[in-house]
Structures are given as structure tokens and as C-alpha cells.
């Protein structure tokens, strides 16, 4: 395909786009408010030497990545011209709180319940640091905070994350497995049967799967090579999830099978389509096998239900009841755990905040809203009526989950909301050239 021939300038792309999260990992998201344009530009100049590129990761020169992204309010606070601000998509201009209806953020997940600074005007800059060792992480975060403090901007909040044993989520599932291949970007270690995606699905200014570039914020020096980022702080109701499994399973083995059917993988990471009846830890430990599968040979969902979380979030080669090109809605997913795990066997909530700090990257700012509205919160494309994602679906009464089986399907009723949104926001991840442009006062006189 023609888009595979498009050269990608790795040296101008922030490293987060080529970064494969280490296992184990330590990280932080530092939220910054810009109180004056010059202090914001000064802070950016101090941070720039610490922001790595995709070329650094391709060459194996880094063990820690630092990325800098700006919300719409942050770009305005830097003094970006009004014409440039108007060229950004509606998701950034309105902000995630205003888009709650498109994401299904209602009830306990509604923006009025979000933690500050989410949903406020204080969230301008997101500095993301992730490292392979605790020392590298601590040193890099301390450096980033010191640099912005010296510049006169305000650190509003820092959220720390770290891998749980086995790189599991708080629900107990192995995380960080699936990562799409992108043409022109460094190869990923997980084997997958999916063809490489066009770079323009993740990088502005490059050909997309349709062969043309998506709209680029103006001027070109600001938009080209950038991408859109969305962050979501997700609280997990682990005790409720365990109670549900225990109440609907006949024994401990069936409990694990139900957990696998709801996600689409066993807790080890082994996919159901390759291990439909029992967990296979050896498969899960093999990077050449753990992600090397599709759903075409499981059209009825008897191995992996159509409603399972990973099949909804990335239908791969599934045949959908409502036609849509799944290659136009792929995102890079980075999920990082916060909080201590709920001790094994505990079925009552202990009041501790724990969950997933989720980040997505796409050249389509609308990608997350599409996935949430069409695939996670709706059963239509999967011929499931009003069924939602069993783990990440929106709140509502009479939630259910169907497990195809012979001679009779299995229907689970009374699913509680197992996740609650604590906050989120959309941001722009500029290229390194754009970061330098934003850091210089005279650049602000440029016209889009």
C-alpha cells in the first residue's frame, strides 16, 4: 500500500509514540498550570532537553521517557494565536468534561464528581514520565518538577503509578499486551497478524489508512508530527467485581473462566481464541504467540464472546453487524496502575483508591468517543442489542453479558458498574519542532 512508503521522521516525534512500556514500570503524570505566557514558555525551554524522541527509542538509547502535552486551555495560556486555536478539533476546544455525554460519563462517573484539576481550567500541561527502574523514575520526575518550579509555573497535582506484581491490573489481568504496528515506526516485540497501520492514523501530516492526511492544526510547524492524547483516571471496584464472579460461578475454576470470558483473555494474558477452555501460561509467556490471533475463526463467539472487552475495544478481523472499518479507529493504549491492590480473597471494599490511569494516542481526536459510544457502550455492531462492555460499559440498570455456548447460551444479569471515571482530559502532543516553536516568544507572531 502507498502509505507504507511514507517516511516517518522519528527524530521529530516525541518518544511516547514509539515507546513500549517496560515491565515492571514506574511513572508519574505531572499536571501543570501556566500562570503567564512567558513563564510557560520558559518552563518548556527547561523541559525540552529531557523530552526524548522516537529515534532515541528506535536506537535503544533510552530507559525512561518524558512526554509533554498541552490542553486547549494550556495552548491558549501559552499565547497561541486565536486562529491556530480554532484549527484544533472540537474535542480539544470543548474539553472532556463537556464531552461527557459522548463518552457515557454519567452517574458516579459524571464530571461533577471528578477529582480536581480534571474538569477545571487549572489543567494546562501534562508531563508524563515512565521508567524501567524506580531510581530513573524518581530522578526524572524530580528533575521535571524542579525545572517547571524554576520557571514560575504551578505544579497542580502529581499522580504516581507503578506496576503491580506480574504487571497486572487491579482486577488481576495482565496488562500492556496489545500494541498496533505502525508503518515506519520501530517494530514492536509482540507478534500480530494485523498488517501495519498507516502512520497518519497516529501522526498528523502523514497519510492515513484512506491515503490522505487528516486535518492538521495550523500553522503546519505546530501541527505536523503531532498527535492527540486523552487521559482517563479510572477507579476500579475490585470487590464488586469479585463478588459478581463468586455469585455467578459454580466453583473456583468457573470463576476464572467467567473472568476470562468477560475480558477476552485469561488473567495470565493468554487469549481465549487460542486457549478457549483452560489457561495456558506458557502461551501467555511467549511474545510470538500471546497477541498472534484474530476472530475470523470464531464467528459465533464460542471461544471469545463478541461482548468481551478486548473484542469490543479492538474487533480485529471480526465481521460486525454494523459496518465500520476497524482500522480507522485504532488507538495506542497506555494503562498504568495506581493504588495498592485489594488483598486476595477480600470481597468487601476497603475504601482505598485504586485503578488505572489510562492514556490513548491517536491522530483522530474523536477515536476514543467512537470506541466508547459505538463499541463499548453499544451492542449494535456485535448484534448484542443493548448489551454494554461488561467491564468498561457505562452505568445503567439491567446490565447483562451473554456467553455463547452449545446447546444453550449463558446469560449473566445484574452487572454492576465495575469502573468509575475520576476525571479525564484531551490534549495535544506536539512534535519536537512544535515544542521548540511553542517555547519561543517570537514564534507566537506567526500566522496560521
**Strongest mean pLDDT among 51-60, 234-243, 330-339:** 234-243
The three-class DSSP label of residue 436 is: helix
User: What percentage of the chain has pLDDT greater than the value 90?
Assistant: 75
Phi-psi region of 79 (alpha: psi -120 to 50; beta: other; left: phi over 0): left
Query: Does residue 240 sit in the same domain as residue 230?
Result: no
353 φ/ψ angles, rounded to the nearest 5 degrees? -80, 120
Cell of 280: 495456558
CB burial of 181-200 (b: ≥16 within 10 Å; e: otherwise) equals ebbbbbebebebebebbbbb
Query: Does residue 381 sit in the same domain as residue 322?
Result: yes
Query: Does residue 70 sit in the same domain as residue 134?
Result: yes
Would you place residue 6 in the very low, low, confident or very high pLDDT band (cuts 50, 70, 90)? low
**Domain with 410 in it:** 236-423
Mean pLDDT of 144-165: 93
Query: Does residue 116 sit in the same domain as residue 139?
Result: yes
Q: Quick: pLDDT tens for 91-149.
A: 999 999 999 999 999 999 999 999 999 999 999 999 999 999 999 999 999 999 999 99
Q: Which of 198, 203, 246 is nearest to 223 (CA)?
A: 203
pLDDT given for residue 355 in this prediction: 96
Q: Which of 115, 146, 122 is nearest to 49 (CA)?
A: 146
Q: Is 101 exposed, middle or buried (0-12, 13-18, 19+ CB in 10 A)?
A: exposed
Would you place residue 19 in the very low, low, confident or very high pLDDT band (cuts 50, 70, 90)? confident
Query: Does residue 134 sit in the same domain as residue 206?
Result: yes
Structural contact between residues 432 and 68, judged by C-beta atoms closer than 8 angstroms: no
Query: Does residue 52 sit in the same domain as residue 86?
Result: yes
pLDDT given for residue 441 in this prediction: 81
Is it the case that residue 321 has pLDDT exceeding 90?
no
Q: Quick: pLDDT tens for 185-201.
A: 886 667 788 888 999 99
pLDDT given for residue 286 in this prediction: 94
Query: Does residue 74 sit in the same domain as residue 166?
Result: yes
Q: How many structural domains does the chain have?
A: 2
Distance between CA atoms of 217 and 17, rounded to whole angstroms? 18
Distance between CA atoms of 197 and 381, rounded to whole angstroms? 22
Query: Does residue 184 sit in the same domain as residue 268?
Result: no
143 φ/ψ angles, rounded to the nearest 5 degrees? -65, -45
pLDDT given for residue 399 in this prediction: 87
Q: Pseudo-torsion of CA 86, 92, 95, 96, nearest 10°?
A: 160
Higher pLDDT, 303 or 381: 303
pLDDT given for residue 448 in this prediction: 45
Strand 154-162 relative to strand 332-338, pairing? unpaired
Mean pLDDT of 40-58: 93
pLDDT given for residue 330 in this prediction: 85
Q: Which range, of 3-12, 23-32, 57-66, averages the lowest pLDDT?
A: 3-12
Is it the case that residue 24 has pLDDT exceeding 70?
yes
Count of Cβ atoms closer than 10 Å to residue 292 Cβ? 16
pLDDT given for residue 1 in this prediction: 44
Q: Quick: pLDDT tens for 232-276.
A: 999 999 999 999 999 999 999 999 999 999 999 999 999 999 999
What average pLDDT does the chain have? 91
Query: Does residue 155 sit in the same domain as residue 255?
Result: no
pLDDT given for residue 444 in this prediction: 47
Is it the case that residue 2 has pLDDT exceeding 50?
no
Distance between CA atoms of 389 and 214, rounded to whole angstroms? 29
Distance between CA atoms of 107 and 394, rounded to whole angstroms? 9
Q: Who's near 44: CB < 8 A, 6+ residues apart?
A: 68, 78, 435, 438, 439
Distance between CA atoms of 256 and 245, rounded to whole angstroms? 8
Cell of 184: 515506519
Cell of 97: 468534561
pTM: 0.94
User: What percentage of the chain has pLDDT greater than the value 70?
Assistant: 95
Length of the chain: 448
Is it the case that residue 365 has pLDDT exceeding 50?
yes
Is it the case that residue 427 has pLDDT exceeding 90?
yes
pLDDT given for residue 114 in this prediction: 97
Structural contact between residues 298 and 304, judged by C-beta atoms closer than 8 angstroms: yes
Q: Quick: pLDDT tens for 405-415.
A: 888 899 999 89
Query: Does residue 270 sit in the same domain as residue 291?
Result: yes
Distance between CA atoms of 428 and 289, rounded to whole angstroms? 34
Maximal C-alpha separation, the chain:
71
pLDDT given for residue 396 in this prediction: 65
Query: Does residue 304 sit in the same domain as residue 201?
Result: no
Structural contact between residues 200 and 213, judged by C-beta atoms closer than 8 angstroms: yes
Which residues pair with residue 413 across a beta bridge? Answer: 400
pLDDT given for residue 447 in this prediction: 46
The three-class DSSP label of residue 103 is: helix
pLDDT given for residue 416 in this prediction: 87
Mean pLDDT of 202-230: 94
Query: Does residue 413 sit in the same domain as residue 279?
Result: yes
Is it the case that residue 442 has pLDDT exceeding 70?
no
Q: Quick: pLDDT tens for 281-310.
A: 999 999 899 999 999 999 999 999 999 999
pLDDT given for residue 63 in this prediction: 85
> Is residue 230 within a helix (H) or strand (E), and if so which, with residue range?
strand 227-236
Amino acid at each position: 500500500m502507498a502509505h507504507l512508503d511514507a517516511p516517518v521522521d522519528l527524530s521529530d516525534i516525541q518518544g511516547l509514540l514509539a515507546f513500549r512500556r517496560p515491565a515492571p514500570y514506574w511513572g508519574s503524570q505531572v499536571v501543570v498550570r501556566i500562570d503567564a505566557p512567558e513563564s510557560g514558555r520558559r518552563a518548556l525551554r527547561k523541559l525540552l532537553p529531557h523530552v526524548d524522541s522516537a529515534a532515541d527509542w528506535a536506537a535503544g538509547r533510552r530507559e525512561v521517557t518524558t512526554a509533554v502535552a498541552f490542553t486547549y486551555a494550556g495552548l491558549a495560556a501559552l499565547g497561541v494565536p486565536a486562529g491556530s486555536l480554532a484549527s484544533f478539533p472540537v474535542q480539544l476546544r470543548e474539553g472532556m468534561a463537556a464531552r461527557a455525554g459522548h463518552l457515557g460519563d454519567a452517574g458516579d462517573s459524571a464530571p461533577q464528581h471528578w477529582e480536581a484539576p480534571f474538569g477545571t481550567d487549572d489543567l494546562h500541561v501534562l508531563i508524563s514520565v515512565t521508567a524501567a527502574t524506580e531510581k530513573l523514575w524518581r530522578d526524572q520526575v524530580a528533575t521535571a518538577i524542579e525545572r517547571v518550579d524554576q520557571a514560575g509555573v504551578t505544579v497542580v497535582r502529581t499522580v504516581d503509578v507503578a506496576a503491580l506484581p506480574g504487571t497486572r491490573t487491579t482486577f488481576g489481568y495482565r496488562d500492556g499486551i496489545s500494541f498496533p504496528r505502525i508503518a515506519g515506526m520501530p517494530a514492536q516485540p509482540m507478534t500480530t497478524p494485523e498488517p501495519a497501520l498507516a502512520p497518519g492514523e497516529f501522526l498528523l501530516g502523514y497519510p492515513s489508512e484512506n491515503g490522505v492526511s487528516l486535518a492538521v492544526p495550523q500553522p503546519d510547524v505546530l501541527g505536523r508530527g503531532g498527535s492527540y492524547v486523552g487521559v482517563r483516571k479510572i477507579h476500579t471496584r475490585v470487590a464488586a467485581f469479585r463478588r459478581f464472579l463468586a455469585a455467578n460461578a459454580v466453583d473456583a475454576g468457573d470463576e476464572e473462566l467467567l473472568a476470562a470470558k468477560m475480558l477476552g483473555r485469561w488473567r495470565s494474558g493468554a487469549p481465549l481464541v487460542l486457549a478457549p477452555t483452560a489457561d495456558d501460561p506458557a502461551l501467555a509467556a511467549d511474545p510470538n504467540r500471546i497477541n498472534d490471533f484474530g476472530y475470523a475463526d470464531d464467528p459465533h463467539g464460542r471461544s471469545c464472546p463478541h461482548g468481551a472487552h478486548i473484542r469490543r475495544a479492538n474487533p480485529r478481523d471480526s465481521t460486525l453487524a454494523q459496518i465500520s472499518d476497524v482500522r480507522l479507529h485504532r488507538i495506542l493504549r497506555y494503562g498504568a496502575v495506581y493504588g495498592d491492590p485489594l488483598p486476595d480473597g477480600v470481597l468487601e471494599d476497603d475504601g482505598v483508591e485504586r485503578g488505572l490511569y489510562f492514556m490513548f494516542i491517536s491522530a483522530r481526536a474523536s477515536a476514543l468517543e467512537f470506541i466508547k459510544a459505538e463499541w463499548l457502550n453499544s451492542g449494535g455492531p456485535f448484534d448484542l442489542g443493548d448489551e454494554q462492555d461488561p467491564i468498561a460499559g457505562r452505568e445503567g440498570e439491567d446490565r447483562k453479558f451473554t456467553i455463547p455456548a452449545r446447546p444453550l447460551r449463558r446469560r449473566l444479569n445484574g452487572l454492576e458498574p465495575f469502573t468509575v471515571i475520576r476525571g479525564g482530559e484531551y490534549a495535544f502532543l506536539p512534535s519536537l519542532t512544535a515544542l521548540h516553536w511553542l517555547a519561543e516568544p517570537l514564534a507566537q507572531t506567526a500566522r496560521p
